[in-house]
Amino acid sequence: MLLFLTLLAVDPVQTAATPASEPKKICRRDMTTGSIMPKRTCRTQAEWAAIERSNDDAWDATRRKMGFTQRGTGRLE
């Protein structure tokens, strides 16, 4: 009996799964070489983080290829 009353008290609108809201977009202005107008790029925080990781990986690969160490001594090994 108590279970039945509890089920009746629950509002079906509240139990429906609410759609997940879209992640907030973060916009940045980038200057393109050869242009005087900045370009506005909007992405989510996760997308910006992935881009930064990719850029960091590319920079690390370039430093390793050039022979620079983490300390920046510039010695070729």
Does residue 41 fall inside a structural domain? yes
Does residue 47 fall inside a structural domain? yes
Predicted model pTM? 0.55
What pLDDT does 73 receive? 57
Range of the domain at 31: 23-65
Q: Residue 27: beta bridge partners?
A: 42
Number of domains comprising the chain: 1
pLDDT average, residue stretch 16-23 = 73
pLDDT average, residue stretch 10-35 = 78
46-76 pLDDT, tens digit per residue, is: 999 999 999 999 999 998 888 865 665 555 5
Does residue 50 fall inside a structural domain? yes
Does residue 59 fall inside a structural domain? yes
